[in-house]
Amino acid sequence: MGEIMHEIVATSEAPDPIGPYSQAIRANGFVFVSGQIPIHPKTGAVDDGIQDQTHRVIKNLSAILDAAGSGLDRVVKTTVFMADLDDFPSFNQIYEKYFADTKPARATIQAARLPKEVLVEMEAIATI
């Protein structure tokens, strides 16, 4: 078998990683985006409320996907981590605005704790 080629993806339009990982990796026609939390890339601020945080998370994902040569319309799988699944209906109202046409596969998990005490984190896999 041949060597798997991969490339680190980075953009200033999304928050810098807060640990030893990449914003995303391009490999074999896919882009694997690390979990994004609702940090504004320019100010470091975190909005209040699940809906504002969901918008920011998806904007961060979108910026990384764009830098990788992909986009939200090419997402095939998301994994969502939520601090409280009671926020799921409000989260879905925002999520649906971005993914109504493509409806990627998704898993949603309630996490005991998320970085910086945010309400939502999301990772994605997309085609390039």
The reported pLDDT for the residue numbered 1 is: 54
Read off the pLDDT of residues 68-123 as tens digits, 9 standing for 90 and up.
999 999 999 999 999 999 999 999 999 999 999 999 999 999 999 999 999 999 99
Q: Which domains does the chain have, with CATH numbers?
A: 6-127 (3.30.1330.40)
Q: Dihedral sign, CA of 78, 81, 82, 86?
A: positive
At residue 25 the predicted structure's pLDDT band, cuts being 50, 70 and 90, is very high
Tell how strand 105-110 and strand 75-82 pair up: parallel
User: In the block, which residue shows the tokens 């940090």?
Assistant: 39
Q: Is 116 left (phi over 0), alpha (psi -120 to 50) or beta?
A: left
Q: Model-level pTM? A: 0.94
Query: pLDDT tens across 2-18, in order?
Result: 667 899 999 999 999 98
| pLDDT for 18 | 84
pLDDT at 23: 98
